[in-house]
């Protein structure tokens, strides 16, 4: 009842909203709370405020899961923010299906989003039942190993080019007094590391068979068992402070010369930049690591919950348009460590780590969809819980975890 009342009201106001020039304050919820993330998001706020008309009211909530839960509760409780960050995934699908999000299709058509956004898969999660409900702002990939160059030099090792290298080198790094692989012990980080190992050890074909095709034989295969075995070996490579540690505090261990490496998405780059470190001099960025690095095309999008207010709605459209504008795309993504979602912007100023990412993203053979864009939120969450349980329970066998993994994939959507 409530949903359709909001839907009717919002669409009736669409026309008048388009002509409104009233200033509006928009509350924007996101989870960009680390130093590097704050630097990037403040560029967006500044740019929006500079239109002389509107104001960005910042609501930063630490942790993606927490922030998304607050957004859901607020929308369902009738106190929706005007904009909110989600991952470029299926996380907001139910909100769109329930008619709770502003339809951006007219704006997308006018600004030719389908032509400028690349790769195509980046705009796909925004399109639900033929309508556009979100604006993608960046491409983030999870599959990066961030390294401290000085540590590898001191111990006389080359940066790892495979997960087996990471494991083989650990003893020497540990003996020299460093953490071989710093892991932040939170469910999503443990799951991200698992995804990286999956892609590095199993490869893209296996990834697609298991997650996209839901091929039961592939999920049961010895290749997937090898992914879990390799992942299990990483448990001993981290340190005692791992439990519950934030990703950026973990990155700090690499920045400050305590840990040799961290597996993390390319947003980690923002922390190195903020610390005044130079790419490929002070810190290294190894995609993969594997012989054929594959990057998932994840990232962030903004949704715009429907409002009973024409001025706010007009401002929401101004914000959506601004987020995708070429200038903002370059500035924001340079600070954030992500790649722009537009193919028509000049990224000549990108540092060597970004250049590596951009070059890989240019060829479809190197890219795959992230798990949360393939699986429903529920199924994705169940896999994350299972992976985290396995990581934290050394007595759990590979056969046991793989059985449960197969079951969730067969059972879930
Ligand atoms: C991801 C998000 C990134 C990054 C990271 C850590 O979900 O896509 O933009 O900020 O969380 O906060």
Distance 267 CA to ligand 1 centre (A): 7
A 10 A CB-CB count for 361 gives 19
As to burial, measured by CB atoms within 10 angstroms (0-12 exposed, 13-18 middle, 19+ buried), residue 369 is buried
Query: The pTM is what?
Result: 0.92
**Closest residue to atom 8 of ligand 1, CA basis:** 299
What digits encode the pLDDT tens for the residues 346-388?
Answer: 888 899 999 999 999 999 999 999 999 999 999 999 999 999 9
- Taking the CA of residue 31 as reference, the ligand 1 atom at the shortest distance is 12
pLDDT at 60: 98
Question: Is any ligand 1 atom within 6 A of the Cβ of residue 300?
Answer: yes
Question: Is any ligand 1 atom within 6 A of the Cβ of residue 37?
Answer: yes
pLDDT at 284: 98
* Distance in angstroms (rounded) separating the CA atoms of residues 250 and 189: 10
Question: Is any ligand 1 atom within 6 A of the Cβ of residue 31?
Answer: yes
Cβ–Cβ < 8 Å for 206, 153: no
Instruction: State the DSSP code for 391.
Output: H
Cβ–Cβ < 8 Å for 62, 348: no
Question: Is any ligand 1 atom within 6 A of the Cβ of residue 337?
Answer: no
Question: Is any ligand 1 atom within 6 A of the Cβ of residue 391?
Answer: no
Task: Output the CA–CA distances (angstroms, integers) from residue 44 to 10, 32, 314, in the order listed.
Answer: 26, 12, 18
Cβ–Cβ < 8 Å for 190, 244: no
pLDDT at 21: 60
pLDDT at 23: 81
Give, for ligand 1, the residue of 28, 29, 30, 31 to mutate: max count of ligand atoms closer than 8 Å to Cβ. Answer: 31
Cβ–Cβ < 8 Å for 254, 182: yes
A 10 A CB-CB count for 11 gives 13
The low-confidence residues of the chain, meaning pLDDT below 50, are 1-20
Distance 30 CA to ligand 1 centre (A): 10
* Distance in angstroms (rounded) separating the CA atoms of residues 324 and 223: 40
What digits encode the pLDDT tens for the residues 30-88?
Answer: 999 999 999 999 999 999 999 999 999 999 999 999 999 999 999 999 999 999 999 99
Question: Is any ligand 1 atom within 6 A of the Cβ of residue 302?
Answer: no
Taking the mean position of all CA atoms in its chain, how far away is CA 33? 14
Residue (of 72, 81, 67) closest to 33 by Cα position: 67
As to burial, measured by CB atoms within 10 angstroms (0-12 exposed, 13-18 middle, 19+ buried), residue 222 is exposed
Question: Is any ligand 1 atom within 6 A of the Cβ of residue 140?
Answer: yes
């Amino acid at each position: 009842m409530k949903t359709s009342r909001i839907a009717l009201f919002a669409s009736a106001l669409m026309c008048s909203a388009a002509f409104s020039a009233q200033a509006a304050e928009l509350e924007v919820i996101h989870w960009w709370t680390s130093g590097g993330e704050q630097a990037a998001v403040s560029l967006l706020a500044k740019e929006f405020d500079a239109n002389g008309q509107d104001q960005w009211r910042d609501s930063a909530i630490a942790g993606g899961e927490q922030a998304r839960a607050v957004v859901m509760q607020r929308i369902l409780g009738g106190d929706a923010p005007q904009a909110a960050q989600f991952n470029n995934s299926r996380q907001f699908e139910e909100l769109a299906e329930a008619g709770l999000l502003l339809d951006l299709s007219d704006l997308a058509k006018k600004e030719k989003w389908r032509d400028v956004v690349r790769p195509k898969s980046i705009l796909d999660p925004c399109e639900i039942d033929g309508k556009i409900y979100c604006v993608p702002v960046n491409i983030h990939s999870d599959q990066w190993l961030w390294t401290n160059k000085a540590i590898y030099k001191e111990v006389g090792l080359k940066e790892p080019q495979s997960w087996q290298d990471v494991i083989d080198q650990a003893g020497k790094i540990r003996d020299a007094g460093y953490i071989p692989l710093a892991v932040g012990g939170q469910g999503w980080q443990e799951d991200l590391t698992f995804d990286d190992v999956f892609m590095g050890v199993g490869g893209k074909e296996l990834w697609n068979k298991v997650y996209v095709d839901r091929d039961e034989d592939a999920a049961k295969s010895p290749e997937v068992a090898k992914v879990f075995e390799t992942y299990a070996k990483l448990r001993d490579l981290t340190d005692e402070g791992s439990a519950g540690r934030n990703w950026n505090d973990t990155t700090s261990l690499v920045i400050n010369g305590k840990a040799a490496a961290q597996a993390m998405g390319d947003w980690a780059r923002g922390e190195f930049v903020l610390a005044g470190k130079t790419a490929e001099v002070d810190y290294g960025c190894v995609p993969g690591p594997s012989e054929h690095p594959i990057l998932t095309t994840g990232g962030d999008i903004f949704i715009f919950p429907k409002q009973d207010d024409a001025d706010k709605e007009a401002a929401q459209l101004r914000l959506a348009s601004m987020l995708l504008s070429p200038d903002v795309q370059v500035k924001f993504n340079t600070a954030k460590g992500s790649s722009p979602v537009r193919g028509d912007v000049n990224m000549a100023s990108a540092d060597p780590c970004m250049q590596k990412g951009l070059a890989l993203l240019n060829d479809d053979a190197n890219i795959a969809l992230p798990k949360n864009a393939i699986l429903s939120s529920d199924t994705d969450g169940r896999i994350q819980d299972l992976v985290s349980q396995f990581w934290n329970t050394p007595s759990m066998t590979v056969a046991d975890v793989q059985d449960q993994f197969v079951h969730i994939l067969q059972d879930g959507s």
